[in-house]
Structures are given as C-alpha cells and as structure tokens.
C-alpha cells in the first residue's frame, strides 16, 4: 500500500496484535464482516435488538456499538480526521473495550485467526455477514477509490489487488475470510448470514438475529427495527454522523444503495469472468454459494 497516496488513512492498518490480547466476556456479541458487507447496517440491527426497539440507534455515541479496531488504535497513530470524529462522536480519551458495560455489542473486520485469543475460550456469540464479491468489490472501490481515501485511480487496479487480497489494509482475501466462518457455521455460538438474504427479507433476518441473541420480538418491534435500519433511513441519518463529516462522506456517501446486482453497471465481461474464476477457486466444493443479482 502506497503511503504517499493522498487521503490514505492509517485506520486501514488494523491493530490486530492488540485485538489478539483483548479481554472477552461470555455475554459479548460480536459482528464480523469483510469490509463493505453490510457491517454498519447489521450493527444497527443488533444494537436495536439489544437496547430496545424504542431506541433509534441514530446518534448513539460510537462507544455504545463500536468497531474494536477504531477503539484499539493508538491516538498518535490515528488519522487526524479520525481523531476529530472520535471527539465529536463521544469517544472518551483512551477509550477501551474494557470500559463498556455488558452485554457489549462490538464489530470487527478481523479474519478468524486474528480474533482475540479469549474468543475461542469463552465462546461469545458471533454473527457473521458474507456478501457476494462482485457487489462488494464495486462498493469497496467506490469508497476507497474516491474521496476521501483516493487510494485507487482506476477500477482494474483495485480489482487486481482485491483478488490478490491486497486491496483493503491487512485483512487479506475475501475467499479466506468468508470460508473460515462458513466452516464454523454449525457452532452453537455462530450465526452465519448472507447479505443478499437480509436484503431480500430484512424482517426474517431481524427475527433470526434476535432468536440467536435470545431476545423475543413482537411483529411491531421488528417493524420498528426494519424502519430505523433501512438503507433510506440510514443514508439520511449518516448525513449528521461525525465520521461521515470528518472524512467527507457527506458529499461522497459511505452508505450508498446496498443494491444486490449493482455490479452489472460497472464490471466488464472480462472482469465478471475474473471474479467467477476467483469464486471457482475459493468456493468449489465448499457448499457456499452467493446470489449475484
């Protein structure tokens, strides 16, 4: 990754060495995804279920439902815009996950083998969201290729690095990320979901997540969460988000459309075939399949 590229923030260098030693509680609720797989969307759903459906999670300070990578970044290593956003979003100085009240709801992009060591011992609940790589790649390029990151000038360059597992910080291959959790989908502390299924029937997805967490929801509760966590609602709400303002995502939306099949507006025939071959390499024989449109 080219550090001289304008707008390239250190927040894409995730502090996984610190994550490995983080204390884990048995009643923690983790969400993990490969970037641009619906993490902010599902994090809002989980937070709404845990905190009560009468609470609109819009405006909740980040420490109430954080990404642990952001919390664990040392202040001196942070992008100045990230420091500004933290202050405006209610992040106390040197805030740490240990300061959160239980049950903690936390999100991460960490690959399976870089999770906290105690995760495997205490076995808290983990919700995993997987998204098809075609929509994911296009969405990631729209975010990291344009302002404020401006890490890529051309989509072909980004796609090549994405398929090589080099495009987004130190997260690695999409194929490895989704398969590591797919192999553990039958573990009683793991809920494996697909972005496309949630988009197709969000109410069923909300109910599924609630049952996994151990929360009873009425049909009215589900309706409230579906409304507050819809893409249209979130897109408007994110206009006033401290992070969105600090990084310029108000003009270049972080929450775009979330459309399944939107890749067809960007990918060439050759690029589409490249990703098909990539999926063949990673997913053949695993039973894991994705709806692409």
Lookup result for tokens 């051309």: 154
Percent helix, strand, coil in the chain (nearest 5)?
Answer: 50, 5, 45
Contact indicator for 149, 143 with CB cutoff of 8 Å: yes
Contact indicator for 141, 151 with CB cutoff of 8 Å: no
Give the residue ranges of DSSP H helices in the chain.
Answer: 16-20, 39-51, 68-72, 80-88, 117-122, 133-144, 155-163, 174-182, 195-200, 202-213, 219-228, 231-237, 242-246, 269-283
109 is catalytic: yes
- Separation of alpha carbons 39 and 55, rounded Å: 19
Considering the candidates 40, 65, 109, 177, report the single residue annotated as catalytic: 109
Task: Give the 3-state secondary structure of residue 74.
Answer: coil
Core vs surface per residue 117-129: b (16+ CB within 10 A) or e? ebbeeeebbbbbb
Core vs surface per residue 2-15: b (16+ CB within 10 A) or e? eeeeeebbebbebb
Residues marked as catalytic: 109
């Amino acid at each position: 990754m080219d550090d001289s590229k304008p707008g390239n923030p250190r927040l894409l260098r995730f502090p996984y060495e610190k994550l490995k030693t983080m204390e884990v509680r048995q009643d923690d609720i983790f969400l993990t995804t490969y970037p641009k797989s619906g993490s902010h969307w599902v994090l809002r759903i989980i937070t709404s279920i845990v905190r009560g459906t009468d609470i609109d999670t819009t405006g909740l300070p980040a420490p109430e439902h954080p990404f642990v990578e952001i919390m664990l970044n040392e202040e001196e290593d942070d992008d100045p815009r990230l420091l500004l956003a933290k202050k405006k979003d209610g992040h106390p100085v040197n805030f740490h996950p240990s300061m959160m009240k239980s049950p903690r709801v936390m999100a991460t992009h960490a690959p399976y083998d870089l999770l906290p060591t105690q995760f495997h011992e205490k076995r808290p609940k983990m919700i995993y969201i997987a998204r098809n790589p075609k929509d994911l790649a296009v969405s990631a390029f729209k975010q990291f290729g344009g302002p404020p990151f401006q890490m890529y000038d051309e989509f072909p360059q980004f796609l090549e690095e994405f398929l090589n597992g080099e495009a987004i910080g130190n997260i690695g291959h999409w194929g490895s990320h989704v398969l590591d959790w797919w192999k553990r989908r039958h573990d009683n502390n793991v809920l494996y979901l697909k972005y496309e299924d949630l988009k197709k029937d969000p109410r069923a997805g909300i109910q599924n997540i609630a049952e996994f967490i151990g929360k009873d929801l009425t049909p009215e509760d589900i309706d409230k969460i579906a409304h507050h966590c819809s893409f249209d609602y979130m897109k408007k709400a994110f206009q006033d988000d401290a992070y969105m303002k600090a990084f310029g995502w108000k003009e270049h939306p972080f929450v775009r459309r979330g459309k399944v099949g939107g890749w067809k507006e960007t990918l060439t025939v050759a690029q589409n075939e490249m990703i098909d071959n990539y999926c063949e390499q990673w997913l053949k024989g695993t039973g894991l399949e994705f709806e692409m449109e």
